[in-house]
Amino acid sequence: MLQDKIQDVFNEPGCTTNQAKSAKEKKKGCTKSLKPGAAAGGCAYDGAMIVLQPIADAAHLVHGPIACLGNAWDNRGTRSSGSQLYRTGFTTDLSELDVIGGGEKKLYRAIKEIVQQYDPPAVFVYQTCVPAMTGDDIAAVCRFASQKLGKPVIPVDAPGFVGSKNLGNKLAGEALLEHVIGTVEPDHTTPTDICIIGEYNLAGELWLVKPLLDEIGIRLLSCISGDGRYREVAQAHRARVTMMVCSQALVNVGRKMEERYGIPYFEGSFYGVSDMSDSLRTMARMLVERGADRGLIDRAEGVIAREESRVWRRLEPYKPRFEGKRVLLFTGGVKSWSMVSALEGAGLTILGTSTKKSTREDKERIKKMKGEEFHQWDDLKPRDIHKMLVDDQADIMMSGGRSQFISLKAKVPWLDINQERHHAYAGYDGIVNLCEEIDKTLSNPIWRQVRRPAPWESGPSSTLLAAE
């Protein structure tokens, strides 16, 4: 069953990478086989958690031994404006006896305890490798628990070893399509209801976008899943338009919602000025096409014009400071091209970007925008990155937390632009935040100090004279 679902996800016609593949290639799937001893990155379960955990009022229960949750809970910056239950880590913490005797009964008891103690609107149950091997049927347990306890209990069948984080994202999307979306009817609907898919409200980014939607008169009916509530996700099928933010991750959800409920979708991004404006514009246009009041477009244009002039005015002071500063950008997928244009708008020079997770379309787009000589690295080894930094080829590196030490140990400024980051970079205000963070880092006085030789190293002979 799980295999069928994985094949289905691999066949996804909405995926641009897939569209370019032969039937045989499609069957092989998008999971590159990993090289033992030289692999990095998360597993499918990790990916499923990333998508679903932002549903803040639900309980998220991990069925597995302690490693899957114990080593990994409380480590993401997704934020909620209300319920904090999603930050509570629940696991069945399977022991040797559960491995031998099966963990299904324990799983049921765990679900029951959670429902009795926390009374969440729903419980998500995550399958992991060990119970998948021993054959615990979590779908059956969830069905049973759902009937017994009178609450949605949703199985998320994405054990780590089936594949990458990206596959896990999609399998989580399948779980939503199968068990959640369409199960709750909203109290009322409006012609401007939208659903945003693939935005996780990291560092509160959604809150930089939502006020603008409110102002234009667009109602965010459902966000999958940033600052999410179970009921809102369940009523996503009543949206008039869907926006796919991280298209690689959840393209299957957008396409299937179109297929099932006739909701058109578009791909957009909130990163960077022009992408942000495009997204608002497209949203308004598509809603009007589906019958919303034409005034929506004018209101959107009004907001865009005001915000754009404001953001460029606010970025102006950074331009002289950023002149000649070279950036190495390592980030996944969509963020690459949206960030490139945003940063260049602020006067930075982007040397190149990683395109490991980007689609062919993304790559074409960057090429068109930047020309052939712009670097697009598919798989750059840490050693090579380190060399570029040591050779003074860049003034700052922007990447995820795990590669930060490549930069910091080379004594080159670094900025976190991944999921553990503490600052919100989405929307018009976000790009100003990003430039402020870059400026703070670049202008920090430590860089000069930490690069100085120690007293016992042969430094410049003027050291003594320079002493104050």
Partner 1 sequence: MSHIQRFPSSAKAASTNPLKMSQPLGAALAYLGVDRCLPLFHGSQGCTAFGLVLLVRHFREAIPLQTTAMDQVSTILGGYDNLEQAIRTIVERNKPAMIGVATTGVTETKGEDMGGQYTLFRQRNPDIADTALVFANTPDFAGGFEDGFAAAVTAIVERLVEPSPVCIPTQVNVLAGSHLSPGDVEELRDIIEGFGLSPILLPDLSLSMAGRQPSGFTATSLGGVTVDQIRAMGASAATIVVGEHMRVAGNALELKTDVPSHFFSRLTGLEATDKLVRLLMELSGRPAPARLRRQRESLVDAMLDGHFFYSRKRIAVALEPDLLYAVAGFLADLGAEVVAAVSPTQSPVLERLKAATVMVGDHSDVETLARDADLIVSNSHGRQGAARIGVPLHRMGLPMFDRLGAGLRVQVGYRGSRELLCDIGNLFLAREMEHGSETHDHGEAHGCGGGSCGCNAV
Stretch that binds partner 1, among 157-165, 213-221, 342-350, 460-468 (CB under 8 A): 157-165
Q: At 243, is the secondary structure helix, strand, or coil? A: strand
Cβ(97)–Cβ(106) below 8 Å: no
The closest alpha carbon to 196, from 287, 283, 312, belongs to: 283
Among 39, 140, 305, 446, the residue binding partner 1 under the rule CB under 8 A is 39
Among 11, 16, 17, 134, the residue binding partner 1 under the rule CB under 8 A is 134
The closest alpha carbon to 109, from 71, 153, 168, 169, belongs to: 153
Taking the alpha carbons at both ends of the chain, their separation in whole angstroms is: 73
Sheet with 414-416: list strands edge to edge: 375-377, 349-354, 326-329, 396-399, 414-416
Among 29, 64, 120, 204, the residue binding partner 1 under the rule CB under 8 A is 64
Shortest distance in whole angstroms from residue 343 CB to partner 1? 26
137: tokens are 């049927």
Sign of CA dihedral 162, 167, 172, 175: negative
Stretch that binds partner 1, among 84-92, 188-196, 254-262, 345-353 (CB under 8 A): 84-92
Shortest distance in whole angstroms from residue 35 CB to partner 1? 7
Examine residue 225 and say whether the peptide bond preceding it is cis (omega within 30 degrees of 0).
yes
Per rule CB under 8 A, is residue 449 in the interface with partner 1? Answer: no
Per rule CB under 8 A, is residue 40 in the interface with partner 1? Answer: yes
Q: At 187, is the secondary structure helix, strand, or coil? A: coil
Q: Which is nearer to partner 1, 387 or 440 (CB)?
A: 387
Stretch that binds partner 1, among 64-72, 301-309, 325-333, 356-364 (CB under 8 A): 64-72
Cβ(326)–Cβ(349) below 8 Å: yes
Per rule CB under 8 A, is residue 328 in the interface with partner 1? Answer: no
Per rule CB under 8 A, is residue 133 in the interface with partner 1? Answer: yes
CA distance 13 to 268: 18
Per rule CB under 8 A, is residue 452 in the interface with partner 1? Answer: no
Cβ(434)–Cβ(427) below 8 Å: no
Stretch that binds partner 1, among 62-70, 241-249, 424-432, 437-445 (CB under 8 A): 62-70
Q: How many residues bind partner 1 (CB under 8 A)?
A: 67
Rg, Å, the chain Cα set: 24
Per rule CB under 8 A, is residue 113 in the interface with partner 1? Answer: yes
Per rule CB under 8 A, is residue 43 in the interface with partner 1? Answer: yes
Among 290, 363, 375, 386, the residue binding partner 1 under the rule CB under 8 A is 386
Q: Which is nearer to partner 1, 323 or 384 (CB)?
A: 384
Per rule CB under 8 A, is residue 69 in the interface with partner 1? Answer: yes
CA distance 319 to 346: 6
Q: At 118, is the secondary structure helix, strand, or coil? A: helix
Among 24, 188, 368, 383, the residue binding partner 1 under the rule CB under 8 A is 383
CA distance 201 to 225: 8
Shortest distance in whole angstroms from residue 309 CB to partner 1? 39
Shortest distance in whole angstroms from residue 435 CB to partner 1? 25
Per rule CB under 8 A, is residue 38 in the interface with partner 1? Answer: yes
CA distance 94 to 73: 16
452: tokens are 């100085």
Q: What is the residue whose two structure tokens read 């331009």?
A: 319
Stretch that binds partner 1, among 32-40, 140-148, 240-248, 372-380 (CB under 8 A): 32-40
Neighbours of 91 (CB within 10 A): 21
Among 81, 101, 405, 459, the residue binding partner 1 under the rule CB under 8 A is 405
Q: Which is nearer to partner 1, 64 or 204 (CB)?
A: 64
Q: Which is nearer to partner 1, 41 or 317 (CB)?
A: 41
Per rule CB under 8 A, is residue 74 in the interface with partner 1? Answer: yes
Shortest distance in whole angstroms from residue 370 CB to partner 1? 28
Shortest distance in whole angstroms from residue 390 CB to partner 1? 8
The closest alpha carbon to 171, from 236, 108, 229, 126, belongs to: 126
Find the helix or strand (DSSP H, E) in which 154 lies. strand 153-156
Neighbours of 460 (CB within 10 A): 10
Per rule CB under 8 A, is residue 61 in the interface with partner 1? Answer: yes
Binding site for partner 1 (CB under 8 A): 33-46, 61, 64-75, 84, 87-96, 98-99, 106-107, 109-114, 129-130, 133-134, 160-163, 382-383, 386-387, 390, 401-402, 405-406, 409, 420
